[in-house]
Structure 1
């Protein structure tokens, strides 16, 4: 799999320059793009991270952290050459640069995965995380 296919769409949402930071009409033009639903590998894009601007994808289940699924998360991270940093919610990071490639959030009515759009294996990682963290995966 590849980088996220929604990269250009996400870039079009961001402030293009400080010159238009107070331009209400430019903002309204950018927000019109949001009317077109976006998805990757069947997972709907539900927004962008407030501070990081990473695209956020909804998982089709409620996520509650347990011993089993945190171990599953660490196994997926290892598959992708990452480690897990446990903060407010877990982040998958590359060990050589500490660059965050994904974050998994549990404190909503559904699980969410934030992904770095330029990460070469982002779509594959999204699919693997969803499979490994699904509630029925932990019952095996």
Structure 2
């Protein structure tokens, strides 16, 4: 699998420089790309993380954390060279440099996964998390 293919979509929305930070028309121009529906591996991109800017993908089910699925999450993390950091919600971070590559959120009406777009195995990780955490297949 590959990095996420939505990098250019994200980059087109970012503030290009402080000189246009108050330019409403420039903002409106950047947001036009949001009219283009984005998906990765069949999962819809529903937005970007507010502080981190990572693309957020909706999973087709609601998630409630349990002893079983948090253990499964840690197993998936290990397969990808990561550990799980439990904050408000779990984050997968690389052992080699503590870089966050994913976060799984459960406090909305459906589960969501935030992914670092430049992570080489991001799409593979998204599919693996979606399959592993699915309460129907558990």
TM-score bracket for the superposition, by shorter chain length? over 0.9
Counterparts of 1:128 and 1:71 in 2: how far apart (Å)? 14
CA deviations on 1:10-37 (whole Å, 9 max, x unpaired) are 1111111111100000000011110111
Return the offset for 1:6.
0.4
Superposed, 1:43-82 pairs within 5 Å as 43-82=43-82
Equivalent position SS for 2:103: strand
| Residue ranges of structure 2 left out of the alignment (5+ in a row) | none
Moved over 4 A (4+): none
Aligned residue in 1 for 2:32: 32
Cα separation, 2, equivalents of 1:30 and 1:63: 33
Please give the per-residue CA displacement for 1:110-130, whole angstroms capped at 9, x wherever unaligned.
000000000000000000000
Measured in 2, the distance between the counterparts of 1:32 and 1:41 equals 23
Query: For the aligned residues, what is the CA RMSD?
Result: 0.6
Partner of 1:96: 96
Q: Taking structure 1 as the reference length, what is the TM-score of the superposition?
A: 0.97
**How many residues in Structure 1 have an aligned counterpart in Structure 2?**
138
